[in-house]
Structure 1
Amino acid sequence: MEKAVIQLETLSCPSCIQKIENAVKGINGVHQDSLKVLFNASKVKADFDSEKTSINEIEKAIENLGYPVVKSKVKPA
């Protein structure tokens, strides 16, 4: 299990949160209960199983929605 903290460019609307949550929750290996999208900080936090998915897949799902990833950190949970 790993913890990801993904820094995004500034989020401009609260509805962005729902779109990002839905996209990330749809990824096999992401623990849905751990997922948090922090609007004011423009961050996404989630725990994921590195045997089922990768930080790159999570970033790609967010970027495909049109939200550029500035940087991300992964550490053991």
Structure 2
Amino acid sequence: MQKIVLQLEELVCPTCLQKIETAVGKIDGVANLKVLFNASKVKAEIDPTKTSVDAVVQVIEAVGFDVLSQKVK
């Protein structure tokens, strides 16, 4: 499992957080998902045999949020 941290544009409402959690939570291979409202970050672990950081970024951007940076540990 790879740990990822994605810095997003500022999240302005709890609904934003729910949209991201719901969309990313549906991706096969994503575990321990946390969307940090105050920090505007998404933290998760991904199984690189099932998904990729780029796939997670695409889903977040598809629901209307810009990903400003990404870290993979």
TM-score under structure 1 length normalisation: 0.92
Structure 2: 5+ residue stretches without partners? none
Q: 2:51 corresponds to which residue? A: 53
* Residues in 2 aligned to 1:22 and 1:66: alpha-carbon distance in whole angstroms: 13
Return the offset for 1:18: 0.8
More helix by share: 2
Aligned residues: 73
Number of the residue aligned with 1:16? 16
* Residue of structure 2 equivalent to 1:29: 29
Corresponding residue SS for 1:12:
coil
Instruction: Give, in angstroms, the shift of residue 8 of structure 1.
Output: 0.2
Deviation at 1:60, TM superposition (A): 0.3
Match for residue 65 of structure 2 among 46, 64, 67: 67
Runs of 4+ in 1 over 4 A off after TM superposition: none
- The separation in 2 between residues aligned to 1:4 and 1:23, in whole angstroms, is 16
**2-structure distance, mates of 1:65, 1:12:** 14
Q: 1:16 is paired with a residue of what secondary structure? A: helix
TM-score by length of 2: 0.97
The gaps in structure 1 that reach 5 residues or longer are none
